[in-house]
Amino acid sequence: MNTENQISEGQIMTGAQALIHALELEDVDTVFGLPGGCILPAYDPLLESSIRHVLVRHEQGAGHMAEGYAHVSGRPGVAMVTSGPAATNLVTPLMDAYMDSIPMVAITGQVGTGAIGSDAFQECDTVGITRSCTKHNELVMSADDIPLAIRQAFHIATTGRPGPVLVDLPKDVLQNQMSWHWPTDEEVAASLPGYRPTSKGHPRMVAEAARMILEAERPVLYVGGGMLKARAAEVLMELAELTQIPVVTTLMARGVFPDNHPLCLGMPGMHGTIAATTAMQRADLLIALGARFDDRITGRLDGFAPDARVIHVDVDPAEQGKVRRPDVPIVGDCRLVTTDIVASLRSLLDGGTTQADVGPWRSQISGWQEVFPLTYDAAEPGGALKPQYCLERLRDSAAPGTIVASGVGQHQMWASLHWHFNEPYTWVNSGGLGTMGFAIPAAIGAKMARPDAMVWAVDGDGCFQMTAQELVTAAVERIPVKIALLNNSYLGMVRQWQEMFYDERYSEVYLSVDTPDYVKWAESMGCVGIRVESPEEVQPAIDKANSINDRPVVVEFRTDASEKVFPMVPAGCTNDDVIVHPSQQDQRAQLG
Amino acid sequence: MTAINPHGSSLNHAILSVLVQNRPGVLARVSSLFARRGYNIFSLAVAPAEDDAQSRITIVVDLESAPLEQMVKQLFKLVDVVKISELDPRRSIERELLLATVRAGSSERSQIVELVNIFEAKILAVGGDALTVSLEGHPDKLDDFEELLGGYSIVELQRTGRVALPKLDRAARLRAATTPGNGNDNQRKVG
Which residue of the set A11, A122, A175, A244 is catalytic?
A122
A568 DSSP assignment: B
Q: Are A334 and A256 in contact (CB under 8 A)?
A: no
- Across the interface, whether the CB atoms of B25 and A192 are under 8 A apart is answered no
| Contacts A198 to B, Cβ<8 Å | 184, 186-187
∠ CA A264-A419-A263 to the nearest 5 degrees? 5
pLDDT band at B91 (very low <50, low <70, confident <90, very high): confident
Q: Which residues of B touch A (CB under 8 A)?
A: 20-21, 24-25, 28-29, 32-33, 36, 67, 69-70, 73-74, 76-83, 178-179, 181-184, 186-187
Closest CA to A375 of A566, A557, A590: A566
Residue A85 amino acid letter: P
d(CA B127, CA B133) in angstroms, rounded, equals 11
pLDDT at B178 over 60: no
Q: Are A72 and A450 in contact (CB under 8 A)?
A: yes
Angle between helices A387-397 and A535-547 (to 10 degrees): 40
Residue A92, pLDDT score: 98
Q: Domain B13-88+175-187, CATH 3.30.70.260 — does that match?
A: yes
Closest CA to B29 of A137, A117, A317, A188: A137
Q: Is A525 assigned a catalytic role? A: no
- Across the interface, whether the CB atoms of A320 and B78 are under 8 A apart is answered no
Q: Are A429 and A251 in contact (CB under 8 A)?
A: yes
pLDDT at B187 over 60: no
Which residues are registered as beta bridge partners of B56?
B19, B47
pLDDT band at B2 (very low <50, low <70, confident <90, very high): very low
Which of A132, A322, A332 has its CB closest to that of B184?
A: A332
Averaged pLDDT for residues B127-147: 95
d(CA B150, CA B92) in angstroms, rounded, equals 28
Helix (H) or strand (E) holding B76: helix B68-76
Residue B6, pLDDT score: 52
pLDDT at B9 over 60: no
| Contacts B181 to A, Cβ<8 Å | 329
- Across the interface, whether the CB atoms of B32 and A135 are under 8 A apart is answered no
Residue B13, pLDDT score: 85
* Ramachandran angles phi, psi of A458, nearest 5°: -100, 120
Pairing of the two strands B41-48 and A403-406: unpaired
For chain B, give the mean pLDDT. Answer: 84
Residue B176, pLDDT score: 42
- Across the interface, whether the CB atoms of B21 and A194 are under 8 A apart is answered yes
d(CA B5, CA A586) in angstroms, rounded, equals 58
Nearest CA in chain A to B23: A138
- Count the helices and strands in chain B (H runs, E runs): 4, 9
- Across the interface, whether the CB atoms of A194 and B32 are under 8 A apart is answered no
Mutate one of A98, A196, A206 to test the B interface: name it (highest B CB count within 10 A).
A196
pLDDT at B34 over 50: yes
Closest CA to A575 of A266, A284, A278, A265: A278
d(CA A507, CA B65) in angstroms, rounded, equals 37
Residue A590 amino acid letter: Q
pLDDT at B183 over 90: no
Closest CA to A231 of A249, A253, A214: A253
Helix (H) or strand (E) holding A301: none
Q: Is A500 assigned a catalytic role? A: no
ipTM of the complex: 0.90
- Across the interface, whether the CB atoms of A192 and B69 are under 8 A apart is answered no
Q: Are A432 and A95 in contact (CB under 8 A)?
A: no
CA distances in angstroms from B139 to A191, B5, B32, B136, B143, listed in the order given: 36, 11, 26, 9, 6
- Across the interface, whether the CB atoms of A320 and B73 are under 8 A apart is answered yes
d(CA A9, CA B75) in angstroms, rounded, equals 37
For chain A, give the mean pLDDT. Answer: 97
Q: pTM above 0.90?
A: yes
Per-residue pLDDT tens digits for A405-418 = 999 999 999 999 99
Which residue of the set A121, A322, A500, A585 is catalytic?
A121
Tell which phi-psi region holds residue A130, choosing left (phi > 0), alpha (psi between -120 and 50) or beta. alpha
- Across the interface, whether the CB atoms of A318 and B77 are under 8 A apart is answered yes
Closest CA to B80 of A135, A392, A411, A65: A135
Task: Return all residues near A456 (Cβ < 8 A) that are at least 6 apart.
Answer: A394, A398, A402, A403, A404, A405, A443, A481, A482, A483, A484
| B13-88+175-187 and B94-164 agree in CATH topology | yes
- Across the interface, whether the CB atoms of A131 and B184 are under 8 A apart is answered no
Helix (H) or strand (E) holding A328: strand A328-331
Which of B32, B73, B80 has its CB closest to that of A317?
A: B73
Residue A5, pLDDT score: 54
Domain borders along chain B are 13-88+175-187, 94-164
Per-residue pLDDT tens digits for A73-121 = 999 999 999 999 999 999 999 999 999 999 999 999 999 999 999 999 9
Measured from the Cβ of residue A501, the count of other Cβ atoms closer than 10 Å reads 12
CA distances in angstroms from A415 to A45, A222, A408, A570, B147, listed in the order given: 42, 20, 10, 20, 65
Q: Is A122 assigned a catalytic role? A: yes
- Across the interface, whether the CB atoms of A194 and B184 are under 8 A apart is answered no
Q: What percent of chain B has pLDDT over 70?
A: 82
Q: Domain B94-164, CATH 3.40.50.261 — does that match?
A: no
A-B interface: how many C-beta pairs under 8 angstroms? 70
Per-residue pLDDT tens digits for B56-90 = 999 999 999 899 999 999 999 999 999 999 988 88
Counting every residue written for chain A, the total comes to 592
Closest CA to A52 of A89, A77, A82: A77
Q: Are A64 and A81 in contact (CB under 8 A)?
A: no
d(CA A412, CA A414) in angstroms, rounded, equals 5
Measured from the Cβ of residue A511, the count of other Cβ atoms closer than 10 Å reads 18
Residue B177, pLDDT score: 42
| Contacts B22 to A, Cβ<8 Å | none
Residue A592, pLDDT score: 74
Q: Is A171 assigned a catalytic role? A: yes
pLDDT at B172 over 60: no
pLDDT band at B179 (very low <50, low <70, confident <90, very high): very low
| Contacts A192 to B, Cβ<8 Å | 79
d(CA A275, CA A281) in angstroms, rounded, equals 10
- Across the interface, whether the CB atoms of B21 and A127 are under 8 A apart is answered no
d(CA A338, CA B40) in angstroms, rounded, equals 37
- Across the interface, whether the CB atoms of A321 and B70 are under 8 A apart is answered yes
Averaged pLDDT for residues B148-156: 95
d(CA A43, CA B120) in angstroms, rounded, equals 66
Map residue A5 onto helix, strand or coil: helix
Q: Which residues of chain A have pLDDT under 70?
A: 1-5
Which residues are registered as beta bridge partners of A220?
A286
Mutate one of A140, A148, A331, A337 to test the B interface: name it (highest B CB count within 10 A).
A331
Closest CA to A579 of A299, A246, A217: A299
Q: Closest Cα of chain A to B163: distance in Å?
A: 22
Per-residue pLDDT tens digits for A117-175 = 999 999 999 999 999 999 999 999 999 999 999 999 999 999 999 999 999 999 999 99
Q: Which residues of A touch B (CB under 8 A)?
A: 127-128, 131-132, 135-136, 139, 156, 192-198, 201-202, 204-205, 316-318, 320-322, 329-332
Counting every residue written for chain B, the total comes to 191
Question: What structural domains and CATH numbers belong to chain A?
Answer: 4-191 (3.40.50.970), 203-371 (3.40.50.1220), 387-558 (3.40.50.970)
Helix (H) or strand (E) holding A475: helix A470-476
Q: Is A227 assigned a catalytic role? A: no
Residue B191, pLDDT score: 27
Mutate one of A206, A313, A320, A325 to test the B interface: name it (highest B CB count within 10 A).
A320
Closest CA to A235 of A344, A347, A339: A339
Nearest CA in chain A to B66: A322
